[in-house]
Copies of this chain bind each other. A is one copy, B any other.
């Protein structure tokens, strides 16, 4: 048995395409010897770009040709129907065919989700896949899902999200009992709509360490390891957080560049500010998992830079090493069996 990993990269996806994906691939290959990468996209472009980067002769980098690209604003249905030879689709096909154990794309999220569902299918017991990522918290990080794939969710789906998040956190963080919270507008049991109240009932049945409702303020507080929510509020929470973080950075920068004196202070404070920034650098958290599929698909931020995309490849490798889809599948199998028995 070999422990070598192969990961397919949608080399044309995202805002920057090969300009980011190729250097990121080379960067990751330098770090680890057990990895092969399949670069999916226009062979001519990729060969040329790779040569320019001095990576043309790397024996662990392989090009898989794909003649099309999915546009960032293309409708998922359009991509599914007319882009059967897109770099995104071919990368997912490689996972389906077993030639890669995971794929990473910085392309159009909706198209990636639709194509992955169509090609790979969902696990038995999962209604719809969810987008899950780690977010920084005061004590480390918190896993949150769904972040935008599912606008309207049933209580059962919210239960599945909690379970998948719990399995992912258990595996990747080596946490034997991840605390799972359900995002709501108050901690009291009377708060929220009927869906979350019913979901709370399902989550409380002992399948995981469910700790109850949490509020938006708790996402970053470290009180829970997993935050389950529907994709509508998950997306709103994530984007609002991004927005205020950007605003805070804007004001910090502005205050420090106000005059020559504050610029001097900034120079002195630079190491501290850098060390602070590192703690919550969004690039370190790049790489969201499309959980619930029969295969590993990682979504990188569209605007990811080299460091960020490399991080997404690392996430893919971690999930391969921990066999995340199988873990979710077997947990689900146990729960479904118990339900049938009960």
A interface residues (Cβ-Cβ under 8 A, vs B) = 73, 75, 136-138, 148, 151-152, 183, 185, 188, 190, 192-193, 215-221, 231-233, 235-248, 250-252, 254-256, 258, 262, 265-266, 268-269, 271-273, 275-276, 279-280
Contact = CB atoms under 8 A, between A and B. Distances in A.
A241 B244 contact: yes
A94 to B, nearest CB: 29
B240 A217 contact: yes
Contacts of A138: 246-247, 250-251
B280 A248 contact: yes
A146 to B, nearest CB: 11
Given A151-B193, A247-B220, A269-B268, A236 B239 contact: no
A262 B269 CA distance: 8
Nearest to A135: B244
Contacts of A220: 240, 243-244, 246-247
Contacts of A190: 75
Given A151-B185, A216-B236, A236-B185, A272 B243 contact: no
Contacts of A272: 255-256, 258, 262, 265-266, 269
Given A216-B238, A216-B242, A269-B269, A280 B262 contact: no
A276 B238 CA distance: 24
When A and B form their complex, which 8 residue pairs have the shortest distance between CB atoms, in order from nearest?
A216-B239, A216-B240, A237-B240, A220-B247, A217-B243, A255-B276, A241-B244, A185-B235
Given A138-B247, A236-B240, 13 more contacts: A73-B188, A151-B185, A185-B235, A193-B232, A217-B240, A219-B243, A220-B240, A221-B247, A233-B236, A236-B237, A251-B279, A262-B272, A265-B269
Interface-central residue, A138, A221, A245, A247, by most chain B CB under 10 Å: A247
A145 to B, nearest CB: 15
Contacts of A258: 272, 275
